[in-house]
Structure 1
Amino acid sequence: MEAFRGTSMGMDFPDRYHQNKAAYNTFMGPKKALVLAISGDQIVHLLWRLQNGEGPKGLDPQVVTVMIGTNDLAHLTSLLQARVPRDDDERIAATISRGVQQSVREVQQQAPQATVIVFGLLPLQPMMLHAPQRLFDSKVEAANRAIAAFAAGEASAKLKFKDCGGDFVDKSGAIKQELMPDGVHPAGGGADVLLKCMLEAIGK
């Protein structure tokens, strides 16, 4: 999400994310919107920032979007693979879902007037890892099921769930390289695809 500012971890990446920034300016330029994401954040980092002055309190937003958990999924998968030689999809999904719920509760407390839209984890098929290419597919699906169940269980018009992941994969479930070149981050045309999906969820 930080890439919509053309940066990653606060550093400029004009060659990699200039299209992301341009897409954001095109789609969101006329709107009053802020990108508050930081690349590499896990849920605990987001929670700390929300609780320490980097949340929506005082901004009076109509809508707050939350997309978090991919880095947690990769980290937890690495830890559990090293220690437990079995499938832990549901265990990882439950951990991520609980963290997302905490984040949503914090946002709701700070901005009770806002509609909160929680976005599902995008497909994760990192090209740089020496690991099975589809290692994370079932884990992403499990996490998104858990997050969607939480949102549905709230039965509130002010809390919605949206999964944009299907726009980034082909019929076989493989990531479309032209939209997510590294298998992790939307870039180039992927920025347009993600923003269109987000605006559809927001209803703008």
Structure 2
Amino acid sequence: MSHVNKTLATTAVARTEAWWQQRHQQKLAEKRALDNDVDLLFLGDSITHSWEDTGLAVWNKYYANLKPFNLGYSGDRTEHLLWRLQNGEIDGLSPKLIVLLIGTNNAGHRVESAEDTAAGVEAILQTLRSSLAASKILLLATFPRSKSLKAPMRKRVNAANKLCERLADQQYIFWLDIGQHFLTDDGTVLDTVMPDFLHLAPAQYQVWAEAMQQQIHDLMEYK
């Protein structure tokens, strides 16, 4: 593992964009308004962020009654989420379940190795286990990227997923790979599923919710 990329992926850093800083403050305020009463916590990047717009109807259908809180930020890499975890966003929370989907922007924006991306995910898991020791974590495999199974980006994401799967202990951290739901039989991503071969089309939020519904209810102990 290269020293430089490992440092970038695993060292907490804030982003400087105004909207990002504003969202951080808004989320801290939202958490206070909820009186820290959160049972289902979503952490991630744009794909998670979009539960607030593209996937909002599905979010309301599946999660509105589960005391949810969305901490997805468009464009985030592992180090940005790590910073947010260390700077107030989970302080005072004790969710029953955390749904974590992160890493695609490490593979994409920085063209990082699988090992470096997995190290960033591991650093996040360690922080969550330390800060929210009673919470269970549903660690999602990064969704397929690029149209073709043979695309370099797809291969990087798949390789990182194989490493991240090993981080699940089946006691507090549980692995779930739903990538096949977004692929054709030959491994192709259609533009009707992901218009840019990365972000989900609106209908795919229903597919995502259905694919993890059983695990969410089991891990939250809603029988």
**TM category, shorter:** 0.7 to 0.9
Matched, 1:71 2:92: no
Question: What is residue 46 of structure 1 aligned with on the other side?
Answer: 81
Cα distance in 1 for residues equivalent to 2:147 and 2:78: 20
Correspondent of 1:113 among 127, 134, 137: 134
Trace 1:1-204 onto structure 2 (pairs within 5 A): 1-6=48-53, 17=54, 20-55=55-90, 57-77=91-111, 92-125=113-146, 134-151=151-168, 155-204=169-218
Q: Retained in 1: the 8 A contact 2:147–2:190?
A: no
Which letter does structure 2 place at the counterpart of 1:34?
F
Cα deviation 1:40-79 (Å, max 9, x = unaligned): 0011100000001012x312110011110000001232xx
Q: Retained in 1: the 8 A contact 2:139–2:174?
A: yes
Cα distance in 1 for residues equivalent to 2:170 and 2:207: 27
Runs of at least 4 residues off by over 6 Å: none
Cα distance in 1 for residues equivalent to 2:74 and 2:147: 15
Q: Retained in 2: the 8 A contact 1:178–1:190?
A: no
Cα distance in 2 for residues equivalent to 1:156 and 1:179: 30
Cα offset, 1:177, TM superposition: 2.8
Percent identity, aligned pairs only, is 27
Count of paired positions: 171
Cα deviation 1:110-156 (Å, max 9, x = unaligned): 111111111111011179xxxx98231211110100000122xxx34
Cα offset, 1:179, TM superposition: 2.3
Cα distance in 2 for residues equivalent to 1:119 and 1:29: 21
Cα deviation 1:61-110 (Å, max 9, x = unaligned): 10011110000001232xx7xxxxxxxxxxx1110111101101111111
Cα distance in 2 for residues equivalent to 1:156 and 1:194: 21
Cα deviation 1:14-43 (Å, max 9, x = unaligned): xxx2xx111111111221111111010011
SS, match of residue 136 in structure 1: helix
SS, match of residue 171 in structure 1: coil
Query: What RMSD, in angstroms, separates the aligned Cα atoms of the two structures?
Result: 2.0
TM-score by length of 2: 0.71
Farther-moved stretch of structure 1 (68-77 vs 118-127): 118-127
Question: What is residue 6 of structure 2 aligned with on the other side?
Answer: none
The gaps in structure 2 that reach 5 residues or longer are 1-47, 219-223
Q: Retained in 2: the 8 A contact 1:119–1:162?
A: yes
Which letter does structure 2 place at the counterpart of 1:21?
L
The gaps in structure 1 that reach 5 residues or longer are 7-16, 81-91
TM-score by length of 1: 0.78
